[in-house]
Chains A and B, each alone.
Chain A
Amino acid sequence: MRYSCSWPHNSTWEPTVIFDFRKIDQKEIIADLCIIGAGAAGITLAREFDELGVRVCLLESGGLQYEPEIQALNEGVDIGFQEGSTVGSSGLRYFGGSTNHWVGHCAPYNPMDFESRSWVPHSGWPIGKEGLDPYYQTAQLLFDLGPNQYELTKIPEMKSGIPAFDPTKISAKVWQMSSTRFGIKFRKDLEQAKNISVYLYAHVTELVTNKENSKVGSVKIRTLDGKDGSVRARYFVLACGGIENARMLLLSNGASPNGIGNQHDLVGRFYMDHLRVHYAATAHVVDDHLFDGVIDYFSAGGVQYKPLICPTDRTQRDAETLNWCVQIAKIPPMQNEGLDAADEIYNDLLEGEWPDEFSRKAWAVVSDLSSVARGLYRRYKPRSLHFLARCENAPNYDSRITLTTERDAHGQNKAQRNWLVTTREKDTIRSAMRLMGEEIGRLSLGRVKLANWLLEDNNFWPDYLYGGGIHHVGTTRMASDPKNGVVDKNCRVHTTENLFIAGSSVFATSGYTHPTLTVGAVSLRLADHLKSILKL
């Protein structure tokens, strides 16, 4: 064994250890709270019950390290928008989950992300940002972040070189970068917790409910070498990730052919993810150092910060767009074939030449008509900045996770992802780039040229989109009305009194930012709710 653990005897409860479920005699486990999935959500939740006098059982499908045959259980089928990763590659099946390979971008969702926006159908959470704020504060510590401050200009260590964008339109923010691997950071805590037991290689195959689907009695466990087992508990939490949470509910069809919580055919629907478009626009600027403050990473208090440009609420409301953000970069990546066009522009500019006839003429006009920097425009060989756009994915009823007829190693139906991206997202990015162009033009810092693909009024997306499809959001969305969502505001499955869901699958909207910090905050909030139920 690569890790140390103690082994249970024949008792039904053996605290203070991490078990390899394949190698213990025990088959039946009894707990007060059974958490399925030991990723960011599951581990966060489990730790909250340390020394609280309830028996917590944390089940993990994998071990302590990556194993291909375990990871293969995540494999599925993609039939929709396909950019970036495949359906099963971003969620990792071993202790620590996706935090084992995440990049670590952390930022809270904006208050408007939680609101019902008239121009975004199906938007709105049953809780507001203020309901999560105290948990965001605590989550900062979980992820080893700095102060709960994400406004760039309020961080004393910020770099100079922040354009004077109109604050009513544009807001400069930051990501705080976390390098926390939950499996490494919290393993010792969980090993030492007297009331928490972790079971590795304990793959849950089904949640077993009563006939009415109103209560889960147990979950079935199976290992890849064929050992079966089960966990009986008072409460269950699914924390398997945005795709697997939905899949597990759909697979648990013993009482109802539609699975659990699916009386309104909502499980798996409203699948959302994030779009990352590397080349959305190029800014030709007179002095790229004037943008240093919104380009360069900086550190403060041992935490790395990454600046970004965001719209204000007013901007989103006025333009009726989704949420978005822009990262600015000076140097384009060279390795992607699809970026040839961007590279060509960049290289031509370095040579002091314009890449095409019209651009040269456009710059001549700008040089003639620009304001205070007229001389600079004329003399200067403009520098090139590239805009990387990230965009909220609109909630879409038809964007969904379903089950295929293909089976995994346990004989269970694999997930099928039909991720839908529409012109709505493209319109948002176009609007964002236009605003950037207007602001940079207004400030006489340069001019912006939108990428050609963005000008086309269609749903064509270039093949140099990269990295999208790794944030699985919305498949068991939160809503007050069971007709609109799978879980209620406390993450409880509407139909099932003792089943809760943790993780990004409960998000009602996707925002522009990475979900993991919010996963932490929502999990902490759920923990508080469960404590109140358990009267702890």
Chain B
Amino acid sequence: MLRRRFLVLLSATPFCISRVFAHPVNDSPYENNHLKQLIESLFTDISSARTVGLKYLAQHPKSASGAIERVQQYVSPVVSGESSDLRERLVKQQKNDFASGDSIIIDGWVFARSEADLCATLVHGHTTVRGNRL
């Protein structure tokens, strides 16, 4: 049952998240690739981040459903050029999350929500939004 739910979730969430993601972000391949590069540049091990993201989606589907929107809030200024350092913004968000008690427990690990959200976005790194690969 759990496995079935998980598979259903996995098949459904890319669509849900991509719908959210597609709206505010420019559809051009350049913009999406830029965003992808920005986020992926944070990780030296993308597969680990995807694993964390997958677990997050499976264990906290409601919380994870708004992941893309939340990530966009601190990524957008970097994409638009208003801010240059994504890592700095992430660290600030991370501390704010921990300080405000906005944490997510994944397999027992206490993550800042922003960390978990970021990992969730990477789950869909191999999916496409309106034909464009993220």
A residues adjacent to B (C-beta < 8 A)? 166, 281, 358-362, 364-372, 433-435, 437-439, 441-442, 447-452, 454-455
Please tell me if the beta carbons of A437 and B49 are within 8 angstroms of each other in the complex: no
Interface string of B97-132 (1 = CB under 8 A from A): 011010101111111100100110000000000000
Binary flags per residue of B64-106, CB closer than 8 Å to A gives 1, else 0? 0000000000000000000000000011001100110101011
Q: Is the CB of A450 within 8 A of B118?
A: no
A368-B42 contact in complex given A438-B101, A439-B98, A442-B99, C-beta closer than 8 Å: yes
A437 in contact with B110 (CB, 8 Å): yes
| In-complex Cβ contact of B108 among A369, A371, A441, A450 (8 A) | A450
Contact among B51, B108, B119 for A452, CB-based, below 8 A: B108
Q: Separation in Å of the A342 CB from the closest CB of chain B?
A: 13
| Known contacts A442-B98, A450-B105: A365-B110 contact under CB 8 Å | no
Q: Mark B2-45, 1 if CB is under 8 A from A, else 0.
A: 00000000000000000000000000000000000000001111
Instruction: For the complex formed, measure the closest distance between the CB of A443 and the CB atoms of chain B, giving whole angstroms.
Output: 8
Contact A361-B48, Cβ < 8 Å, known A371-B95, A438-B110, A441-B110: yes
Residues from chain A with Cβ under 8 Å of B110 in the complex: 433-434, 437-438, 441, 447-450
Report A376 CB to chain B, min CB distance, Å. Answer: 14
Report the 6 A-B pairs with minimum CB-CB distance, sorted nearest first: A437-B110, A442-B98, A361-B48, A364-B48, A371-B91, A450-B108
A434-B105, A438-B98, A447-B109 are known; give 13 further A-B pairs, CB within 8 A. A358-B55, A358-B107, A361-B47, A361-B51, A362-B111, A365-B43, A365-B115, A366-B111, A369-B118, A433-B110, A434-B110, A449-B109, A455-B108
CB-CB under 8 A from B47, the residues of chain A are 361
**Is B52 engaged at the interface, CB distance under 8 Å to the other chain?**
yes
Q: A371 — which chain B residues lie within 8 A by C-beta?
A: 91, 94-95
Task: Give A338 Cβ to nearest chain B Cβ, in Å.
Answer: 17
A364 to B42, Cβ gap below 8 A? no
Residues from chain A with Cβ under 8 Å of B119 in the complex: 365
* B90 contacts across to A, CB distance below 8 A: 369
- The residues of A that contact B42 with a CB separation of less than 8 Å are 368-369
- Are B108 and A449 in contact, with the CB atoms below 8 A? yes
**Contact A369–B94 (Cβ < 8 Å):** yes
Report the Cα distance A147→B23, complex, angstroms.
64
B86 CB, nearest partner CB in chain A, Å: 11
Q: Return B69 CB to nearest CB of chain A, in Å.
A: 19
* Distance, CA A416 to CA B91, complexed state (A): 55
B103–A434 touching, CB < 8 Å: yes
Q: Tell me the complex Cα distance, A450–B111, Å.
A: 11
Q: Which of B49, B98, B101 contacts A368 (CB 8 A)?
A: B49
Q: Which residue of B lies closest to A454 (CB)?
A: B108
Chain A residue numbers with a CB within 8 Å of B45 are 361, 364-365, 368
What is the chain A residue whose CB lies nearest that of B95? Answer: A442
User: Closest chain B residue to A439 by CB distance?
Assistant: B98
The 14 sampled A-B contact pairs (Cβ below 8 Å) are: A281-B108, A359-B109, A365-B115, A366-B115, A368-B43, A368-B49, A439-B98, A441-B94, A441-B98, A442-B98, A442-B99, A449-B108, A450-B108, A455-B107
Residues of B within 8 A of A442 (CB): 95, 98-99
Contact yes or no, B52 A365, CB < 8 A = yes
Chain B residue numbers with a CB within 8 Å of A433 are 110
Q: Shortest CB–CB separation between residue B110 and chain A, in angstroms? A: 3
User: Hey, which chain A residues are within 8 Å of B95, CB to CB?
Assistant: 371, 442
Most buried by A among B45, B48, B118: B48
For A433, A441, A450, the residue with the greatest tally of chain B CB atoms inside 10 Å of its CB is A441
A448 to B91 CA separation, bound complex (whole angstroms): 18
* Assembled-state Cα–Cα distance A369/B44 (Å): 10
Q: A525 CB to closest chain B CB, in angstroms? A: 39
* Listed residue (A166, A358, A454) with the most chain B CB atoms within 10 angstroms of its CB: A358
Residues of chain A contacted by B107 (CB below 8 angstroms): 358-359, 362, 449, 455
Bound complex: CA of A449 vs CA of B91, how far in Å? Answer: 20
B109 with A455: CB separation less than 8 A: no
* Complex: A359 Cα to B44 Cα, angstroms: 16
Complex Cα distance, B45 from A370, in Å, reads 14
Known pairs A447-B109, A447-B110; A364 contacts B44 (CB<8 A) = yes
Residues of B close to A434: CB separation below 8 A? 103, 105, 110
Contacts known (A361-B51, A369-B42, A371-B94); A441 close to B106, Cβ less than 8 A: no
Closest chain A CB from B53 CB (angstroms)? 9
Q: Per a CB cutoff under 8 Å, which of A362, A448, A452 touches B106? A: A362
**Whole-angstrom CA separation of A47 from B63 in the bound complex:** 61
Residues of A within 8 A of B55 (CB): 358
Do A368 and B94 touch across chains, with their CB atoms under 8 A apart?
no
- Give CA–CA (A359, B101) in the complex, Å: 22
Residues of chain B with a CB closer than 8 A to A362's CB:
48, 52, 106-107, 109, 111
- In the complex, which residues of chain A have a beta carbon less than 8 angstroms from the beta carbon of B49? 361, 364-365, 368
* A360, B109: Cα distance in complex, Å: 11
Query: How many whole Å from A212's CB to the nearest CB in chain B?
Result: 55
Residues of A within 8 A of B111 (CB): 362, 365-366, 441
Q: Which of B55, B91, B106, B107 has the most CB of A within 10 A?
A: B107
